[in-house]
């Protein structure tokens, strides 16, 4: 199964989502994490994970590689065939890498915040998804609300917008939590950090929902 974690807007938690998904998938099979972002955030996370592997009790790790542009499709297709699961993390902009990931993937997971800027960016991304379906007609798309502030009404407004766009939204909502930033900085996932039960529950719920989507 190949997943692409995508959005044309930055700061929505793409890398956090991608590394958590890849690491949770690694618990049940060989997992590949492709970092297709020029900022190399997922690769940095993997390097920190390797550095901390001796001092922290970590679970299975995904194999992490760097690919850019059209190589995400041309080389990624061959590499993905050697793994049970592949997760692609691409930068927050329209690029050859993002377009290639949408053609490569079987499921696109779209982390999105709950602001007007997020809604505007979704319009651009939807155009790219429709273009990609000329080459990948079976691409499934699931939206994940991330960095949610439960104190505001923004989430409800975003859900209304997504419904108008006829997008399938995962039930799980991932809130803005310090634990996610700390986990990324240490090369771990929040389950391994073990300090925020709410963050752990959110990521486990996200994973279970994605797994269920694959079976339907």
Give tens-digit pLDDT for 76-113.
999 999 999 999 999 888 899 999 999 999 999 999 98
Choice between 158 and 111, residue whose per-residue pLDDT is larger: 111
Average pLDDT, the chain: 93
Tell me which of 41-45, 61-65, 92-96, 175-179 is least confident: 92-96
Q: Confirm if 36 and 91 have CB atoms less than 8 A apart.
A: yes
Its CATH class, for the domain covering 2-215, is alpha beta
Count Cβ atoms within 10 A of the Cβ of residue 136 and give its class: 0-12 exposed, 13-18 middle, 19 or more buried: middle
CA atoms within 13 A on the CB side of 137: 1
Q: Confirm if 34 and 89 have CB atoms less than 8 A apart.
A: yes
Write the DSSP symbol of residue 100. Answer: H
Confidence of residue 149 (pLDDT cuts 50, 70, 90): confident
3 state SS of 59: coil
Joined together, the tokens standing for residue 66 give 């760097």
Confidence of residue 54 (pLDDT cuts 50, 70, 90): confident
Residue 3: which H helix or E strand, with range?
A: strand 2-5
Q: Find the Cα–Cα–Cα–Cα dihedral 44, 1, 21, 147, rounded to 10°.
A: 100
Confidence of residue 216 (pLDDT cuts 50, 70, 90): low
Q: In what order do the strands lie in the sheet with 169-175?
A: 63-66, 31-36, 85-90, 2-5, 107-112, 140-148, 169-175
- The stretch 1-25 carries a mean pLDDT of 95
Q: Find the Cα–Cα–Cα–Cα dihedral 148, 150, 153, 158, rounded to 10°.
A: 30
Q: Where are the domains of the chain?
A: 2-215
Confidence of residue 189 (pLDDT cuts 50, 70, 90): very high
Instruction: Tell me how crowded residue 128 is: count the other CB atoms within 10 A of its CB.
Output: 17
Joined together, the tokens standing for residue 51 give 């550095």
Question: Pairing state of beta strands 31-36 and 63-66?
Answer: parallel
pLDDT at 196: 95
pLDDT at 139: 96
């Amino acid at each position: 199964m190949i997943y692409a974690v995508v959005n044309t807007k930055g700061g929505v938690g793409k890398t956090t989502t991608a590394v958590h998904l890849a690491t949770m998938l690694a618990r049940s099979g060989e997992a590949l994490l492709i970092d297709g972002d020029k900022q190399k955030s997922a690769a940095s996370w993997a390097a920190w994970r390797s550095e901390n592997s001796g001092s922290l009790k970590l679970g299975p790790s995904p194999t992490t590689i760097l690919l850019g542009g059209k190589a995400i499709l041309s080389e990624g297709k061959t590499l993905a065939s050697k793994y049970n699961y592949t997760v692609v993390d691409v930068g927050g902009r329209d690029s050859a890498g993002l377009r290639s990931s949408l053609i490569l993937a079987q499921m696109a997971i779209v982390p999105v915040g709950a602001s007007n800027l997020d809604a505007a960016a979704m319009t651009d991304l939807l155009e790219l998804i429709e273009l990609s379906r000329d080459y990948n007609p079976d691409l499934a798309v699931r939206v994940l609300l991330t960095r949610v502030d439960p104190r505001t009404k923004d989430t409800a407004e975003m859900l209304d917008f997504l419904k108008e766009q006829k997008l399938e939204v995962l039930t799980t909502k991932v809130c803005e939590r310090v634990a996610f930033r700390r986990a990324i900085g240490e090369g771990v996932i929040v389950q391994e950090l073990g300090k925020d039960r709410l963050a752990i529950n959110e990521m486990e719920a996200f994973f279970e929902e994605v797994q269920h989507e694959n079976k339907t």
